[in-house]
Amino acid sequence: MFRAFFTGALLLVGSFQIRAQSYIDLVTASYNYSPPSNFEISDETTSIQHADVSVSLPFPIEDGPILLPGVNMTVNRLNLDPASPAATTLYSAALHIGLRLKYGNDWSGTHYLFPRLSTAFQESRAGVQIATLQLFEKQKSPHSSYGFGVYASKESFGWMLVPLLSFYYQSPDSRYEVRLFLPSRGDVNYRLTDHLRAGLYFDGLGSSHDLQSPQFGASYVQRISNDLQAYLRFDLTPSLLLAVRAGYSFFRTYRVYDVDDTAGVSLANIFFGDGRTPLNQTVEDGFIFGVRIIYRYHFSR
């Protein structure tokens, strides 16, 4: 009985999706490793590990909107400074509370609220944050859509505002696929065989984490990373996908600031008149290697 309801629910969700995209990613998990990289003015190095897991289960309300509950967790581990006695593990855990609405004339809206805890495992402090996503999308054709919106997040340093542009295109024969969620993320891929795709993936979504440590006292870490990776994706089954990735992280920083040294408002990680004083030397850019697993549900157009 539950299986029948679950399948029907996902098909109903599909009818509310921008029909150009004929699937839903229910579970994704990634792991990235950056080999030892230099600090700004030191011969010391640190490796960086990054992992994330996201689970989403759309739930339709009869004759109403679609609920979009879910959870997401990210973990970063590295030495924050050459003088740090050990690596620090930063994490962020968020609930997804959302609604998907269909407005008519091929327009739909996705509206999210993200209560979030973002701090460190061993050196935690506060870490309570909240964010919202408001996105409006229009189906342009059976194979393409576009949209616009805004992401606003109360970070440790202040508010971050990100204007958003979305675009999706899939060629009629499904050979090409383009998914853009600018300026935060992008994915362009090409089908080589029935079970193998090659692509290029970008992730520029940063984060901030409250910290309490003997070295830095009451503080926070601001993470900025622009990761560009090429990948090969193997379709192990129609629903289970495995991608291996390699690339480079540009303009990467893990700055530590005093808790009272804030920045007010930033626009997509661009700070105007930023007079903050970092407490650490940050790690520099470097190569990254990763793997990603996706559980995907397909529905009929």
pLDDT in tens, 181-216: 999 899 999 999 999 999 999 998 789 999 999 999
Specify whether the CB–CB gap between 288 and 249 falls below 8 A: yes
Are the C-beta atoms of 50 and 223 separated by less than 8 Å?
no
37: pLDDT confidence band, cut at 50, 70 and 90? very high
CATH number assigned to the domain comprising residue 109: 2.40.160
Q: What is the pLDDT of residue 20?
A: 55
Q: Are 28 and 293 in contact (CB under 8 A)?
A: yes
Q: 215 burial class (0-12, 13-18, 19+ CB within 10 angstroms)?
A: middle
> Do 91 and 119 contact (CB within 8 A), yes or no?
yes
Please give the Cα distance from 75 to 119 (Å, whole number): 10
For the chain, what is the mean pLDDT? 89
Cβ atoms of residues 187 and 231 within 8 Å: no
Whether omega before 183 lies within 30 degrees of 0, making that bond cis, reads yes
CA diameter of the chain:
62
Confidence of residue 21 (pLDDT cuts 50, 70, 90): low
pLDDT at residue 301 greater than cutoff 60: no
At 58, the pLDDT band (50, 70, 90 cuts) reads confident
Residue type, 240: L
pLDDT score, position 300: 58
Output the CA–CA distances (angstroms, integers) from residue 81 to 43, 76, 249, in the order listed: 11, 14, 18
* Long-range contacts formed by 158-165: CB under 8 A, 24+ apart: 158/262, 158/263, 158/264, 158/265, 158/266, 159/264, 159/265, 159/266, 160/265, 160/266, 160/267, 160/268, 160/269, 161/265, 161/266, 161/267, 161/268, 162/267, 162/268, 163/267, 163/268, 164/133, 164/135
Q: Which long-range contacts (CB under 8 A, 24 or more apart) does 169-176 make?
A: 169/20, 169/143, 169/144, 170/20, 170/21, 170/22, 170/143, 170/144, 171/143, 172/143
**pLDDT tens string 236-280:** 998 999 999 999 999 999 999 999 999 888 888 888 878 899 999
Domain count within the chain: 1
Cα-only R_g, the chain = 20
With residues binned 3-state (H G I as helix, E B as strand, rest as coil), the percentages for the chain, rounded to 5, are 5, 70, 25
Burial (CB count within 10 angstroms: exposed 0-12, middle 13-18, buried 19+), residue 193: exposed
Print the domain residue range for 26: 2-298
Helix (H, G, I), strand (E, B) or coil at 129: strand
Q: How many other CB atoms are there within 10 angstroms of residue 233's CB atom?
A: 22
Phi/psi of residue 234, nearest 5 degrees: -100, 125
Residue 241's pLDDT is: 97
Tokens matching residue 250: 């540009």
**Chain centroid offset of residue 36 CA:** 24
